[in-house]
Amino acid sequence: MEHSTVKPPVIPSRVNPEGYETFVHRNSWKQIETRPCLWGTFGWNMFDFASDGRAEGDILGRNDKGLVTYDRRVRKDAFYWYKAHWTTTPFGYLTSRRWTDRTTAATTVKACGNGVDTVALTPNGTPVGAPAASPDHTYPWPVTLQSGENVVTVTGVRNGHSHTDTGTWTPAP
C-alpha cells in the first residue's frame, strides 16, 4: 500500500491489514535510525502468538502482528523489509502479494530486495520501466491493472542470476 493511502485498522475489528503492519515497521525504523543514542531496539513481534480475549485481526484469541504467521509458514511483508536491511543475500520480493482482490485497477506495485544490480517489474508479461531510486530497499512502480487476473512479476538480477517473485491480482470491476 502506498503510505499516503494507508489507514490504521479500526479497533476493535477483524481487519488488520498486512500493508499497515509494514507501514508501521518502516516508519518506526525511520525514527530509530535518527537516534544513535538508542543502543538496543526490537521489532514487535517475530511470530503471531496466542492471546486470550483478543478480538482483533483474522483469528480470535491471536495477536497477528508478528513478522511470521503463528504456524511459522508465512513470512509477511514486514519480515522481508527487515531482511532487505539486515542481509546481503540477493533477493526480490513482491509486497502485498496476499492482497489478491484489489479495490482499484490503479495501484502502486512495490517490491523489496537487497544485493541485486537491477530490479524489474513485469505485469502480464509487459516490462515496466526502472523503479524510482530507493534508499530503503523498497522499489515502487505506479501501474494500472487490467480487468481479470494480472500476473505481476518482480525480478532482481545479480551477477547474471535472477531472483524472481510472482503474484496474481484481480482488480474490482
In a shared domain, residues 111 and 165:
yes
- For residue 72, the enclosing domain spans 1-86
| Cell 502485498, residue located | 96
Write out pLDDT tens, residues 12-27: 666 678 888 998 999 9
In whole numbers, what is the pLDDT of the chain averaged over residues? Answer: 88
In a shared domain, residues 114 and 157:
yes
Cell of 112: 523489496
Residues 6+ apart with CB under 8 A from 58: 14, 16, 64
Domain with residue 160: its CATH number is 2.60.40.10
In a shared domain, residues 76 and 105:
no
State the total domains in the chain: 2
Domain boundary among 44, 64, 86: 86
Of the pLDDT bands very low, low, confident and very high (cuts 50, 70, 90), residue 53 is confident
Q: With CA atoms as reference, report the closest residue to 120 among 167, 87, 164.
A: 164
3-state secondary structure of 80: helix
For the segment 68-90, the average pLDDT, to the nearest whole number, is: 93
Could you tell me which residue, 104 or 54, shows the higher pLDDT?
A: 104
pLDDT at 136 (0 to 100):
81
- C-alpha to C-alpha distance for 110 and 53, rounded to whole angstroms: 35
Alpha helical stretches, state H, 34-173: 77-86
For the segment 20-36, the average pLDDT, to the nearest whole number, is: 90
Amino acid at 88: T
pLDDT at 115 (0 to 100):
81
pLDDT at 2 (0 to 100):
43
- % pLDDT > 70, the chain: 91
| DSSP assignment letter at 119 | E
Asked if residue 113 lies in contact with residue 137, where contact means CB atoms within 8 angstroms, the answer is yes
How many CB atoms neighbour CB 162 within 10 A?
A: 13
pTM assigned to the model: 0.86
